[in-house]
Amino acid sequence: MAKLGLTRLTLLVSWEANEFSFKLESTRRNLKEAIEEIDESKELEMKLVVTISDVDFLQNELKSVKEMDKRVQGDGSTKQLEGRFKKGEELEDSIVLQNITKESEATRKELALVREEGFQFMASLDVIRNELKHVTTETNRLKKKEGKVDSTIQNLNFKILRAKSKLEVVYAAKEKARSIVVSLSHTLEKLKTETEEAKKENEDVSQEVAATKEEIQKVELDIDMTEERLQGVMQKLEVAKASEALTLEKLKTLTESTMRERALTAQHSSMITISKFEYEYLTNHAASAEEIPDKKVAAAEAWIEALKASEKEILMETKIAQRELKESKLEQELEVYTKEKMLSRRVSSSEELDNWPRKREKSSSKNFQRAMSRKSIKLNGTITPARGAKFQKIASPAARHISPFTIKKRKKVIPNLTKLFRARKTIGIDKL
């Protein structure tokens, strides 16, 4: 299961790397487009500069035309001077009539020339007025163009600001992606170390299971040997019981004969004579001789019960070891699943990596929940929570460390019982 988790993680990391490369390419394209837009804005700025220079040139021409109008107004003042000159001539007519007639003819000629020049000047003024109208229309058109250019400049500035914001977002996304890659590398390293530790723990647990199996086999061999010994001891006990029954019958016959003899002797005398051996036997060994076979049977039964209890404890220890193996595998799968969830949350929190495949997460979570439910049902028949597994993991090493000590104690108890049986056998033989 740990290998499956690692393969899943490697697939997820490769998929994220492909997505990241695709997003980097898209950001590079966006950057190129932004750079092209900036170049276009620069070209528009150059065009604006050219248009502004044209507008300045037209404004200078307008100023020159206005100066020409002012000069034309100055020529109108010459007509007023001519009127004054006529008045002076009328005053001087009384003094010099001849000169006036001559000069009047000359002045008439000059006036005709001036009138002709005035008509020409008026025609030139009409031309200038038409040109002024044309210039005003062109200035209005240029002002409209300037407004359009201003709007385009504003749009370009807005686009530049948007491009700058996009660039900032792209740089932030790059930094986030770098941080995510670093965190992913750290998490991968942690997962590798944790998988190695889990492998080591599995190896240790498998070694412990193998050791417990070897101990179980040894204990089973010891049990078989002890059962064989028990059968021999039981046979010997039966033989001893039979011999004890014979001896008891002999003792009964002897006691009956002695009682008869003593009754006969008691009729003649009030005192009964008993040997030292009979006295010691009656005082010390009569009750113990009856209790010895019962004690032997009770000891054998206790020994058999102790062996059965040791077998039960060994079976319980093997079951506990198997449960611990399964719980450790479940915990490893839970850790892998939680780490996958953390990775998915980190990827979903970033703004640029919004296209995370949620279907794969749902399917993986469903498969994991199914596997968890199946494994928990296999273990206990019901769905077991994760806290109980941790509690069992904490409580299990105590039983794991206690078991060899109890087995050694029981191995020590078995030869002590055999020594007791042998001692009691020797006592029974001595008594016989």
Which residues lie below 8 Å from residue 2, measured CB to CB, with a gap of 6+? 195, 198, 199, 329, 332, 333, 336
Q: What is the pLDDT of residue 230?
A: 79
Give 49 or 134, the one with higher predicted confidence: 134
Which tens digits make up the pLDDT trace of 395-420? 344 334 334 333 344 444 444 444 44
CB atoms within 10 A of CB 343: 21
Nearest Cα residue to 135 out of 83, 56, 61: 61
How large a percentage of the chain has pLDDT more than 90?
0
Of residues 222 and 340, more confidently modeled: 222
pLDDT of residue 115 exceeding 60, the answer is: yes
- Residue ranges covered by each domain of the chain: 2-185, 211-249+277-431
Q: What is the pLDDT of residue 7?
A: 60
What does the mean pLDDT of the chain come to?
67
pLDDT of residue 375: 43
Residue 268 clears pLDDT 80, i.e. is over it: no
CA distances from 332 to 4, 87, 189, 192, 265 (A): 11, 127, 16, 12, 93
Rounded to two decimals, what is the model's pTM? Answer: 0.27
- According to the model, what pLDDT value does residue 431 have? 42
SS (H, E, C) 45-87: HHHHHHHHHHHHHHHHHHHHHHHHHHHHHHHHHHHHHHHHHHH
pLDDT (mean) for 276-289: 62
- Stretch 229-237: mean pLDDT: 81
pLDDT over threshold 70, residue 429: no
Distances (CA, A) of 394 to 123, 324, 376, 389: 116, 10, 18, 9
Please tell me the number of Cα atoms within 13 Å of 128 on its side-chain side. 18
Q: What tokens does 292 get?
A: 């010895």
What's the whole-number mean pLDDT along residues 290-294? 64
For residue 360, the SS3 value is helix
- The whole-angstrom distance between residue 184's C-alpha and the CA centroid of its chain comes to 9
Per-residue HEC secondary structure of 82-135 comes to HHHHHHHHHHHHCCCHHHHHHHHHHHHHHHHHHHHHHHHHHHHHHHHHHHHHHH
Looking at residue 187, its pLDDT comes to: 87
CA dihedral defined by 314, 319, 320, 324, rounded to 10 degrees?
Answer: 140
Mean pLDDT, residues 39-65 taken together: 66
pLDDT of residue 427: 44
